[in-house]
Amino acid sequence: MNAISEKRPFDTVGFLRTWGTTLFLLLLVCVFASQNPRFLSLRNATNILTEVSIYGVIAVGMTFVILTAGVDLAVGSLLAFASIAAAWTVQHLAPAIPQWVVALGVASAIGLGAGFIHGKAVTLLGVPAFIVTLGGMTVWRGATLILNDGGPIAGFDDSYRWWGTGAIMGVPVPVIIFAVVAFIGHVTLRYTRYGRQVYAVGGNAEAARLAGIDVKAIIVSVYAIVGFLAGLSGFLLSARLGSSEAVAGVNYELRVIASVVIGGASLAGGSGSIRGTLIGAL
């Protein structure tokens, strides 16, 4: 009885695992603010959030992949290819169709299709995700260079540029899209059956299979998700810069993976959250 009534010792390790990244972020904010009072200005905060939102959107998708003990090294190259393919299509399509509609549709479709291919290669061929997506990184970057001879594509209209430079009630559009994507990702992982299956596959794929979960379908779906979001980010980046460039997205895969891991996700799978990824991205 006495043992039951005794207070449990404070779980320092558990506390730091849950809140360590958040506390470190707050510490960084305090340090930078002490060095430069303008750091906490609304304008600077807006600039930081806008910059983070481009690769933060992909980081949400990468969270799904890493939760299944996978990884996608092709997201930066895929971002560039989706972006420049969308811009190329805009240039060669009838001007009656709004540019942003064409670009958003093409970039997202290419990202989704490429992610689906990566997932199928992992599940059907049995090739490790690291090898599949490393090859994808080379293929998509090469395709990007070939499509427009390595040169940029510009000349977007205002409706296209609005998606990267516009604002709604003072909040930049990319930040709003990032928030919406993160919210959907959080709800999906935490409150849906699909989210629980993603965690289960990452925790123990064999146990998940024996429990009736279609492990291969889950793995294909998470690569399709991160591919779709890479395409969306490619659209947002080109809208923000006013051009699509073959060198876009270089090293984005490192930023994205670092955001997820710093946010507390385990590369072994089964552990992580969208909340942690947001903190890691910032």
Q: 118-170, pLDDT tens digit by residue?
A: 999 999 998 999 999 999 999 999 999 998 888 888 889 899 999 999 999 98
120 versus 25: which is more confidently predicted? 120
SS3 of 34, please? Answer: helix
Q: Which of 232, 268, 271 is nearest to 86 (CA)?
A: 232
8 versus 242: which is more confidently predicted? 242
**Amino acid letter for position 157:** D
Rounded distance between C-alpha atoms, residue 46 and residue 5, angstroms:
50
pLDDT of residue 58: 96
Lowest-confidence segment of 22-31, 105-114, 131-140, 228-237 by average pLDDT? 22-31
Q: Domain ranges in the chain?
A: 56-281
Q: Which of 155, 156, 144, 47 is nearest to 100 (CA)?
A: 156
Q: Which of 76, 264, 225, 182 is nearest to 280 (CA)?
A: 264
pTM of the model: 0.90
Q: Using one digit for the tens of pLDDT, what is the confidence trace for 49-75?
A: 888 999 999 999 999 999 999 999 999
> For residue 91, what pLDDT band results from cuts at 50, 70 and 90?
confident
SS3 of 263, please? Answer: coil
Q: Using one digit for the tens of pLDDT, what is the confidence trace for 28-45?
A: 778 877 787 777 777 878
| Alpha-helix residue ranges (DSSP H) falling in 36-157 | 42-67, 75-92, 99-124, 129-147
pLDDT of residue 151: 86
SS3 of 278, please? Answer: helix
